[in-house]
Amino acid sequence: DGRTARAEDMMARTFQTVGVVGLGTMGAGIAEVFARAGLRVIGVEVDGRALDRGRATLHRSVERALSRGRLSEEERDGVLARLSFAGSLEDLRDADLVVEAIPEVMEYKRALFADLDRVCRPEVVLATNTSSLPVTAIAATTSRPGRVVGMHFFNPAPVMRLVEVVRTVVTEDGLAEEVAGLARRVGKTPVVVGDRAGFVVNRLLLGYLNHAATLLERRVAAMEDIDTAMKAGAGLPMGPFALLDLIGLDVSREVCEVLFEESRDRVYAPAPILRELVAAGLLGRKSGRGFHDYD
Ligand code: CAA
């Protein structure tokens, strides 16, 4: 109700500065969302070249918003002034919340959360943007598992409204609602979900996308026709192959693997063509080619 939403809003105001670790497609988009909503953002990439790329992605996106008239020059300057970049986790000392958006490899995430736990004050909330790994296991690498949640954004993060806030069995009471309040404050629509593979969206979406790849392999229809069919016949903004390319074929395959492992439901067993394209390094939009060609 309104009173609960207001209480959430009040709590959400305790978040002033947000750290974002990893400035790839998702991390750069997430940093932009917070900075445009008026929060201070510290973007961290330990690799110098990745840091430069992340900074460039962010600047491009903000300039595009300006040229499309979605930001005034003054607002653009404000966004850029609130954004800072760093090559070390030590610079996250002032953050009230840290959102991790590094590659979906459990060892990397575990090592990072152990480091964040050392660097960040005990009350700081640590969030992961993982789409396929268990948040509970990530939380368990810290001395504050009760202050760890999932904050799952969707690609492209500046555009897609949903944030899945993942609550684990050890998340402190009220914390998921507080993080949902923050998501609302930055213009997103949150839903609180449990820590089950794929949460809600990917669990439903990846079964469909993987099924589309199977239809293609069985030559039920041509790729372009399957894309057209789902846009014109089901009212979706993109066909399944365009969407797989947007999500990234590596991420899509990974999410399918995890869903298959947990459910043993064949609908999630990654279609051979998906594995093949990933093995060939054709990862979708981000690599210039996947099911479609972007060069
Ligand atoms: N970054 C910032 N803004 C972007 C953008 C990006 N990468 N891509 C598009 N936009 C903006 C455009 O600038 C445009 O805004 P303006 O009209 O104000 O200029 C707006 O979004 C619409 O874009 P376009 O007109 O270029 O194209 P469109 O109308 O076809 O929309 C789309 C593009 C928003 C991506 C739309 O096709 C869509 O919603 N597709 C489905 C995306 C989806 O399902 N994402 C979820 C994937 S699942 C996931 O991410 C979870 C996971 O863990 C795997």
Instruction: Report all structural domains of the chain as residue ranges with CATH numbers, in order of start.
Output: 2-194 (3.40.50.720), 203-285 (1.10.1040.10)
CB atoms within 10 A of CB 293: 9
Q: What is the pLDDT of residues 146-197, one digit of tens each?
A: 999 999 999 999 999 999 999 999 999 999 999 999 999 999 999 999 999 9
- Is the CB of 130 within 6 Å of ligand 1? no
Q: What ipTM, to 2 d.p.?
A: 0.94
| 40-44 and 17-21 beta bridge pairing | parallel
pLDDT band at 14 (very low <50, low <70, confident <90, very high): confident
Contact 41, 84 (CB under 8 A): yes
DSSP calls for 112-178: HHHHHHHHS-TT-EEEE--SSS-HHHHHTTSS-GGGEEEEEE-SSTTT--EEEEEE-TTSPTTHHHH
* Mean pLDDT computed over every residue of the chain: 95
Q: What angle do CA 198, 256, 247 make, to 5 degrees?
A: 80
Please give the backbone phi and psi of residue 280, each rounded to the nearest 5 degrees, phi first.
-80, 0
**Residue 160 Cα to ligand 1 middle (Å):** 7
Tokens of 28: 């750069």
**The tokens 């961290």 sit on which residue?**
44
Cα radius of gyration (the chain): 19
Nearest CA to ligand 1 atom 36: 237
What are the angstrom distances between the C-alpha of 176 and each of 6, 36, 130, 196, 268?
15, 22, 16, 15, 29
Give the SS3 label for residue 45: coil
pTM: 0.93
What are the angstrom distances between the C-alpha of 31 and each of 133, 152, 185, 258?
21, 13, 14, 27
Please give the backbone phi and psi of residue 150, each rounded to the nearest 5 degrees, phi first.
-95, 140
CB atoms within 10 A of CB 154: 20
pLDDT of res. 274:
97
Q: Which residues are catalytic?
A: 131, 152, 164, 202
Nearest CA to ligand 1 atom 1: 156
Rounded to an integer, the average pLDDT of 63-71 is 94
- Is the CB of 70 within 6 Å of ligand 1? yes
The C-alpha atoms of residue 270 and residue 256 are separated, in whole angstroms, by 6
